[in-house]
C-alpha cells in the first residue's frame, strides 16, 4: 500500500523536546516503512527544512539538516507543479482546507496513496480513495 506522510510526523521524529512523540514516531515510522511504500512531496522537504533550521531549539546544524533531507529524498517525492497547485486550489475550496493542507492532500491523491498520515487533518476524513489517519489517535501518547 502507498502512504503519504505529512511534515509534522517527520518533525516529531527529529524533535527531542517532545520525547513521547519522538519515540513513538520513530518506532511507528519503522513499522510503516516495513509494510508500505512511503511517499512525500517537495512541500514536505521544504517545510521540514524550515522547521529544522528555524523553529527547533536548538536548530539542527546545516549538515544534520542536509542528512535529514537526503534521508527523506530516498522515498518517492511528488514534485509540486502547476497542475498540483491549481488542483489544490480547487480542493481547498471544495473541502474547506487550509492552503498548505490542500497541497499535501492533493500530492497524496496524485501519487495514488490510500492513506495520508497527518496530525493536521481530521482522522477518518476522506478525499475520494484517500483516507486521513492520525497515528496518535487513541493511543495515549502525550501530545
pLDDT at position 140: 62
**pLDDT number for residue 56:** 86
What is the rounded average pLDDT of the residues 22-37? 96
Per-residue model confidence (pLDDT) at position 59: 86
Q: Say if residues 70 and 52 touch (Cβ distance below 8 Å).
A: no
> What are the distances in angstroms from CA 6 to CA 34, 58, 61?
18, 22, 22
- The count of other CB atoms within 10 Å of the CB of residue 136 is 20
Q: What is the pLDDT of residue 141?
A: 54
For the cut 70, the answer to whether the pLDDT of residue 142 exceeds it is no
Res 123 pLDDT > 90: yes
CATH superfamily of 2-133: 5'-nuclease (3.40.50.1010)
**HSE value, Cβ hemisphere, 13 Å, CA-based, for 86:** 3
For residues 55 and 89, the model is more confident at 89
The per-residue pLDDT of the chain, averaged, comes to 94
Across 13-23, average pLDDT: 91
Q: How do residues 73-110 score in pLDDT, each as one tens digit?
A: 999 999 999 999 999 999 999 999 999 999 999 999 99
Amino acid at each position: 500500500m502507498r502512504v503519504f506522510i505529512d511534515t509534522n510526523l517527520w518533525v516529531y521524529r527529529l524533535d527531542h523536546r517532545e520525547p513521547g512523540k519522538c519515540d513513538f514516531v520513530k518506532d511507528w515510522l519503522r513499522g510503516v516503512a516495513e509494510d508500505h511504500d512511503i511517499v512525500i512531496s517537495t512541500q514536505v522537504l521544504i517545510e521540514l527544512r524550515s522547521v529544522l533550521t528555524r523553529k527547533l531549539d536548538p536548530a539542527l546544524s546545516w549538515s544534520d539538516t542536509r542528512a535529514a533531507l537526503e534521508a527523506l529524498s530516498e522515498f518517492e517525492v511528488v514534485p509540486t507543479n502547476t497542475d498540483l497547485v491549481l488542483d489544490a486550489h480547487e480542493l481547498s475550496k471544495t473541502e474547506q482546507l487550509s492552503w498548505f493542507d490542500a497541497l499535501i492532500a492533493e500530492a497524496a491523491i496524485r501519487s495514488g496513496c490510500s492513506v495520508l498520515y497527518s496530525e493536521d487533518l481530521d482522522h477518518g476524513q476522506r478525499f475520494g480513495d484517500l483516507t486521513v489517519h492520525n497515528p496518535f489517535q487513541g493511543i495515549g501518547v502525550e501530545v
